[in-house]
Structure 1
Amino acid sequence: MSTHRLQRWAIIWMSYQFEIQYRRTADHSNADALSHLSCGPDPEFDKFKCCHQQENYDTPINVELLQQHYKDDRVLNRVKTFILERWPSKLSSCDMDLLPFFRRKYAFIIQNNLVYLQSNVTQVVVPNSLHQSVLKLLHEGHWGVVKMKQLARQHCWWHQIDDDIEKLAA
């Protein structure tokens, strides 16, 4: 009945160092979720075969909107050209606005006609025209600077995104 549930918990617990100790009920008065397993089978819960991170978000900024704004972004179009063809050995003086991209040139990929930065997670590179909209979305829950940066690092990137977040949330 609870095999799948225990497997999911085991996967979550693998990232922690812990020791399980038995405690009699009389030794503690606080009850937690693990001390109260469900009564009877839960067929809906056990139907799930594995855990997934949701990757499809219904947000105001989607792939189509990003692609539309990419068309007018000179910097990102130059970056896409360099990724597809080849980065120069050094940037010319007219391409100094590409310096933040040039420093990470091997970490960028193109997918769905968009530029992505690959690090621990894959982040979409947001065109300049959408920076304020993305900042507004990041700040929607009135998060502080640290939480906004964490959210941004999971999803998007642009040069000086941290500075923009600090200006907005400060």
Structure 2
Amino acid sequence: MVSPRLLRWSILWNAYDYEVVHYAGKSIASADALSRLPASCLELPIPSPGDVLMLEAMQDPPLTADDISRMTAKDPVLSRILMRVLKGWPNPEVTEEPSKYWMSFNGHDCMCCVPLG
């Protein structure tokens, strides 16, 4: 008797002409390593969240919210999107550039003249 799963595999593979070739595990190091249980290793201490957050904090960020706000006001497309977010979005505009934002305008929010999305 053959299990239904093996029978399905047998039917599938009978459509092909193939030859099974055995390779020793020593010649396929990656497959051999994956087939083994990991060796016991030393327990590494888990850092406390405070240490991790301290490492992730940037001292001098490359851009501030004021920089982004100024650049958004200068950009013609983003300034129109910002106005739409602040004052309400009318029917979709025909122009192609703002139409990218129309599909997800409900997800946009604004904080200090910086569009968040």
TM-score if structure 2 supplies the norm length?
0.50
Q: Which string of whole-angstrom CA distances, capped at 9 and with x for unpartnered residues, describes residues 17-69 of structure 1?
A: xxxxxxxxxxx7522125xx9xxxxxxx98x6xx8696766222221221221
Give the paired residue count: 76
- 2:32 counterpart of 1:32: no
Q: Is the 8 A contact 2:72 2:79 kept in 1?
A: yes
Determine helix, strand or coil for the equivalent of 2:88: coil
Partner of 1:70: 72
Q: Return the letter of the residue paired with 1:86.
A: G
Alignment of 1:92-103 (within 5 A): 93=94, 95-103=95-103
Partner of 1:21: none
Alignment of 1:15-164 (within 5 A): 30-33=41-44, 58-91=60-93, 93=94, 95-117=95-117
Q: CA RMSD in A?
A: 3.2
Determine helix, strand or coil for the equivalent of 1:33: coil
> What percentage of aligned pairs have identical amino acids?
13
Q: Which runs of 5+ in 1 are unaligned?
A: 1-27, 38-44, 118-170
CA distance in 2, matches of 1:108, 1:57: 28
CA distance in 2, matches of 1:103, 1:29: 52
